[in-house]
Amino acid sequence: MSDPLAELLIRVEYLRDGVLTPQDARAWPREWLASIETTGILDPHAQAEEIIYDGCDHECAVPNLGFEAHPDDPERLVSVHRCLHGCGVVFLEPRDFEQWRFSLVGLARSVAAAIGASGVIVEDVPGRVVLVGTANVGGQASEVFLGFGLARSDSAVIIATAQRLRASERPVVLSVGVKPGDIWSLGTRPRTAVLAEHAVLEVGCLSLDLARIFPTPGMIEVKPSDWLTVTEAAEMLVEDLSWLTIEKARARVSKAAGNEVFKTNGLEGTLRRIERHSFSTWRLEQRNRDLAKDDW
């Protein structure tokens, strides 16, 4: 049987503007959505201006024209839709237009309560990375973060600008609903897990056992070969092109990075990091080009 909470956490990763539309919400019972609302994971949002009515074969686009008393039940408010495709008059209720907005901070509060985290919840990168607090992870006091949208194309840049995450000595990152991509250019790679695979909703609150997710202590160190600073890349280039000074090599590397001829973390200056494999390909091209000049 599928887990509604897991489905929701995965679904919110792909929401437009973070809004759960009435059509999205139909996947879950209203009572269950109400219980999720009490956790703070979802906040009530303005009613939809238009919905797709899928109660007939034509899936009409129905605008929200306001509500009036039902002709046979004055206590019931309805919006009247007159289908132009032969379905006749359709009565829609206010709940048919209800929407919710996903709250990363609200989810962080629920996670903090579930794991007994200490400290203050802080948005490290608004809407993308939140510091949940400090908790015991594998026998060590670790800072736990929530990450959102960590499979998107800008994720490496987002992570590189997350100052608290970068400064953390023992970071743990719970990605909301997707497995993070190859985005870590930090000094130490955080221990990671996908929250949707482990969180459980119990009587209106989140349940999460970090001991089961991270049973052993320690962190995975980033291999020195994974990312290079501009200076490290320049020093490697000088090994091939000995006539270059380190300043000229650094300038050449920076220019190539700006032209995106190899993979970087998307940042500039001292925060720029270069992926070794793509740099090595470019470095070989530079060496071959200079050797070809010497042949002349």
Mean pLDDT of successive 10-residue stretches along the chain, which has 296 residues: 81 83 77 84 78 69 74 74 68 74 93 92 95 88 93 89 89 92 73 92 85 66 63 85 86 89 81 81 80 56
| Cα separation, 259 vs 278, whole angstroms | 13
For position 84, what pLDDT does the model report? 67
Contact in structure between 99 and 114 (CB atoms under 8 Å): no
For position 187, what pLDDT does the model report? 59
Count CB atoms within 10 A of the CB of residue 106. 18
Domain boundaries, the chain: 4-102, 104-221, 227-295
Alpha helices in the chain (DSSP H): 4-12, 22-25, 30-39, 104-115, 155-160, 163-167, 210-213, 230-240, 246-258, 276-295
Residue 163, beta-bridge partner list: none
Report the run of H or E that residue 296 belongs to, with start and end. Answer: none
Query: pTM of this prediction?
Result: 0.64
For position 296, what pLDDT does the model report? 46
For position 219, what pLDDT does the model report? 43
Candidates 85, 87, 20; CA nearest to 51 is 20
Tokens standing for residue 88: 């006749």
* 122 phi, psi to nearest 5 deg: -135, 135
Indicate the SS3 state at residue 131: strand
> Cα–Cα distances in Å, from 189 out to 129, 148, 184, 185, 209?
15, 17, 6, 8, 21
Contact in structure between 155 and 13 (CB atoms under 8 Å): no
For position 188, what pLDDT does the model report? 59
| Cα separation, 146 vs 124, whole angstroms | 10
| Cα separation, 77 vs 64, whole angstroms | 13
